[in-house]
Amino acid sequence: MRKLLLAGVALAFFPTVSMAADLPTLNPDTETSRVSWSDVEKKFGPTPDANGQRYGVVLKTLTNEFWRLLADGYHKAATRSHASVDIQAAQGESDQMGQLSIMENMIGPQYKGLLISPQTDANLQPAIDEALQNKLVVVNVDDAVVGNIGHFVGVVQKENGVRVANWFIQHYKDGGEVAIVEGQAGVFAAIQRTTGFRETIQKNGKFKVVASVPGNWDRQQSYDAAVNILQRNPKIIGIYCNNDTMALGVVEAVKSLNLLNQVHVFGTDGTNDAYVSIKAGEMTGTVDSFPVLTGEIALDTAERLVAGQALPRVIMTPQALVTRENMARYKTSDEDAQKKALIADATSGQ
């Protein structure tokens, strides 16, 4: 039988070691077998010794800054634990076959585990099955979600949209017209972010979603979509984008039509470019997923699984709605201060 983890290691909250195909379909936003990143060490102890271990990383792409920041987190964590990471990425956000080929070439005894960020919920499935047959730990890190994966590290994706919707509700008591620029069709993260925003803002009853169109994670496509939305809906007050790359394209469209004082643009991810735009008074905000810290948490998770620790199925990573008013709290070179702020957020329910 194909084991989910190393032979003899049970998955927390599951009675026996299971094949991936036997696991319930994973929805990280609602999965009950979960633990917050800030509670892992308290519940499971220090990270086991990973000295000399080697891990393979398969990213969506390196053309998007979010994934480069995630790679930085992997490198930081590997330096700290004296492990090593080999990081490869597809040529673009839609190079599904290229990403599959990369993962297939990483399967072998040279690695203790693989950390993957799939482009879709299914494109890496053949390689995942092969990796599990070879007794490799496989951890799904953020964004697209493989339904039968054993462990996922990332944010509550639906909450990203919820937080932006709540900003509009708090700042526009009389409501208004808003729009959504979605990510790649069928991808878990895009679906959940869009759903969170739409459900929350429509429940308020004072807002109208006048458009919800695909941007496919692409800046130019999102610029073009936004120009069309803005020209058709002159009273619009805001646009929520499923990632920062698309939001930056939308900002350019807003600027081109001289609507910066009217239209609030929000992204998702927390890239450096987004922070620059927010500081300049262009983007209103982003829901930061703290990709560097996420990379550190993900490698720590893989190292614990390799050592035989029985972790919950989902490791929740931090997220925060960032605007000019609070960005100094989160954009800091003091990693300890940032972590303390995020832990305080979690404690207070933010």
pLDDT surpasses 70 at 157: yes
Stretch 279-299: mean pLDDT: 97
The tens digit of pLDDT for each residue in 125-144 reads: 999 999 999 999 999 999 89
Cα separation, 150 vs 26, whole angstroms? 8
Question: Hey, what domains does the chain have and what are their CATH numbers?
Answer: 20-155+290-317 (3.40.50.2300), 157-288 (3.40.50.2300)
Structure tokens at 326: 């609070």
Question: Left if phi > 0, otherwise alpha if psi is -120 to 50, otherwise beta: which for 322?
Answer: beta
| pLDDT for residue 345 | 86
| pLDDT for residue 349 | 65
Cα separation, 34 vs 50, whole angstroms? 23
Q: Is 49 helix (H, G, I), strand (E, B) or coil?
A: coil
| pLDDT for residue 259 | 98
Stretch among 94-103, 150-159, 250-259, 333-342 having the lowest mean pLDDT: 333-342
The DSSP secondary-structure symbol of 297 reads H
24: Cβ–Cβ under 8 A, 6 or more apart, which residues?
none
| pLDDT for residue 333 | 82
Q: At what angle do helices 219-232 and 244-256 cross, to 10 degrees?
A: 40
pLDDT surpasses 90 at 350: no
Distances (CA, A) of 284 to 107, 216, 268: 43, 21, 11
Q: Is 141 helix (H, G, I), strand (E, B) or coil?
A: strand
Q: At what angle do helices 65-81 and 244-256 cross, to 10 degrees?
A: 150
- Please give the full DSSP string across 243-275, using - where no structure is assigned: SHHHHHHHHHHHHHTT-TTT-EEEEEE--HHHH
